[in-house]
Structure 1
Amino acid sequence: MSTTKASRTGKATSAASASTYHHGNLREALIAEGLVLAAEGGLDAVSIREVARRAGVSPAAPFRHFPDKVALMTAVAEEAMVRFRAEIVAALAREVSDDPIRRVRAIGKAFLDWARRNPTHFEIISSRRAIDFAGSASLGANNAQIQAQMVALLEEAGRRGLLRVDDPQLIQITGRALVYGLARMLIDGQFPSWGVAEAEAEDLMERSLDLFLAGLLKNPATADPGRS
């Protein structure tokens, strides 16, 4: 998304949230403005004062809910994580196969797609430099549930005799490193230096994911972890 488009989208969202704010939902309105500000200008663009201004309240009003910027950004991260999990749920719903490797692929592709469309929200959750990840029960629970989904699928793949290496934890960490690294390369603009045009990056990331998954299988020649 271009900066201009993000700005237009942000202004529209900001105006909508400010116009619908009423007593009792200030916390939700502030989080919504924080998400918009982060999408528009990155982590450094988010401040309690600016969030309050966009929500149409006094600079002091947010402090009833958020004692400092870390608390606000943690709440923003929690909402971003909820949206990320919704992306995973939708991707698994679209994957009609019960093949556990294809379902692992659906999760991996959902991660890449969400990070590509929401680079700042991805950074807020992933870098953790602006939030209190350890102190958030919501972030911890959602992260644990995603990991549990992956482990369950990999254990099922092991029971079916599909895997060359039956070590769900190692596979999950390696897969996470792959999709995280690909997302960071895209967001940081590194692909052109590797001879990959911006328009080709999405396809390359999918093929990288497929290469990794094929390497897990005992019989990659007869299995198809990739696109249908």
Structure 2
Amino acid sequence: MAHRKRSTYRHGDLRRALVSAGTDLAREGGPSAVVLREVTRRAGVTPNAAYRHFEDKKALLHAVSLAAQAELARSIEAEQAAIPPHDDAGSVARARLRAVGAGYLRFAQTQPGLFRTAFVGHTDLRDAATAESAGQSGLTPFQLLSAALDGLVESGVLPAERRPGAEFLAWSSVHGLAMLEIDGPLRSLDSQQRAFAAGRLLEMVEKGL
């Protein structure tokens, strides 16, 4: 495959090219596949060129993880976009929350390498709100979840006093199932069993809130 030479990059484009190459590697093999030498080779530059934008491999991998989160956000957005119109605001709000979980689980199953990479090196919630993690809507996966929960309150489905902290309960539940299915003892579930588990989990989350 032909690679662009470094001289073809405009200001700022090299960083995007390196992140894009790293994202492709993560898609293929998870975070361990994001090797600096291979990233620069795919971007068509020398390894030293990466240090113009990233202090070290850890910094590059962190940027790739944010790009993986942005793809996760787009998976959630696609799930929400498929919700059919409905006159009942409560039904729509419930559907949007379930779509967040469904999009999350679908992404883990179809893009396991990126899913494993999406949260590498994150020490707190600051990355959950950065623009680099946002999808087409401008919202990150965490913000899409928050918006869906706010919609439950606005439609009268969820009492306002039960809203604080609901993100952490929903997120941990869905993330746990996703990890069990791609890296844990639930790897052996077939597609029908996974769909059943996902449906029951999302129902449990909604009712548990």
Deviation per residue, 1:166-217 (Å, 9 max, x gap):
512354322212210110001114116xxx6333343133222343156349
How far the C-alpha of 1:43 sits from its partner, in A, is: 1.4
In the TM superposition, residue 48 of structure 1 has moved relative to its aligned partner by 1.4
Question: 1:106-121 counterparts in 2 under 5 A?
Answer: 106-121=99-114
| 1:133-180 deviation line (CA, Å, top 9, x unaligned) | 6665434973552243133123124x2xx3489512354322212210
Distance change (3 Å), C-alpha of 1:151 and 1:26: same
Which residue number in structure 1 is paired with residue 24 of structure 2? 36
* Aligned twin of 1:156: 154
Q: Which residue in 2 is equivalent to 1:206? A: 198
> 2:174, 2:201 within 8 Å by CA — same for their partners in 1?
yes
TM-score by length of structure 2 reads: 0.77
Q: 1:90 to 1:143 in 2, by over 3 A?
A: closer
Aligned length in residues: 194
- For 1:1-228, what aligned pairs fall within 5 Å after superposition? 15=1, 18-19=3-4, 22-24=8-10, 25-96=13-84, 97=86, 98=89, 99=91, 100-126=93-119, 128-129=120-121, 136=127, 137-138=130-131, 139=133, 142=140, 145-157=143-155, 159=156, 162-163=157-158, 167-191=162-186, 197-213=189-205, 215-216=207-208
CA displacement at 1:57 relative to structure 2: 1.1
Residues 85-135 of structure 1 show CA distances to partners (whole Å, capped at 9, x for unaligned) of: 222222222113342111111111011111111222222223x33x57666
Structure 2: unaligned runs, 5 residues or longer: none
CA RMSD of aligned residues (A): 3.0
Distance 1:64 1:216, change over 3 A: same
Q: Which has the higher contact order (CA 8 A, sep 6+)?
A: 2
Where 1:66 maps in the other structure, the secondary structure is: coil
Structure of higher CA gyration radius = 1
Distance 1:101 1:134 in 2: 25
Against the structure 1 CA distance between its residues 181 and 32, is the aligned structure 2 distance closer, same or farther, given a 3 Å change threshold? same
TM-score for both structures, normalised by structure 1: 0.71
Check 1:20–1:49 CA distance in 2 against 1; reply closer, same or farther (3 A cut).
closer
2:203 maps to a residue whose letter is: L
